[in-house]
Amino acid sequence: MQRTLVFAKPDAVRRGLVGEIVSRLERKGLKIVALKMLQMDRAMAERHYDIHRDKPFFSSLVDFITSGPIVAAVVEGREAVDTVRGLMGATDPLKSSPGTIRGDFGTEVQENLVHGSDSEESARQEIAHFFPELADQGPGGPP
């Protein structure tokens, strides 16, 4: 079992796609361990996207991701990191297969609806960042 951090981005919240996204995670068989709506401030967004700091799209990405509330979740399941990445589809929705969240609902690279941690290590850091109350828990919950 593994945990990962997922969030519906501000475009997904504005478009009323939160239920669709959460439903797809649940129907796949992932367990929702934690769920909340929040609005990232610039400091939180810059930390979350720190690896993209030198990219040309960084400031635009921070503007977008702080433009409205997001709905963040911790989900748990077998190979949860890769399972969520598979459900999300490729970064560019036009290159994502139909049947994925981005492939079914997106056209824009930046406004691509959903975030999912890209490795077990980033999942651990991102869960601690968004849900500090869960930070010391492994999969399966409190020891």
CB neighbours of 1 closer than 8 A, spacing ≥ 6?
76, 77, 78, 80, 139, 140
CA distance 137 to 47: 22
91 binds ligand IDP (CB under 6 A): yes
CB of 8 to Mg ion, least distance (A): 16
Applying CB under 6 A, does 117 fall inside the site for ligand IDP?
no
Burial of 106 (0-12, 13-18, 19+ CB in 10 A): buried
Residue nearest to Mg ion (CB): 118
| Residues 11-30: x where in contact with ligand IDP by CB under 6 A, - otherwise, as a string | --------------------
Q: What is the DSSP letter of 98?
A: B
Shorter beta-carbon distance to Mg ion: residue 79 or 138: 79
Which residues sit at the interface with Mg ion, rule CB under 5 A?
118
State whether the Cα torsion 28-32-35-39 is positive or negative.
Answer: negative
Q: Is 115 a catalytic residue?
A: yes
Minimum separation from the CB atom of position 56 to ligand IDP (A): 8
* Smallest separation, CB 115 to Mg ion (Å): 7
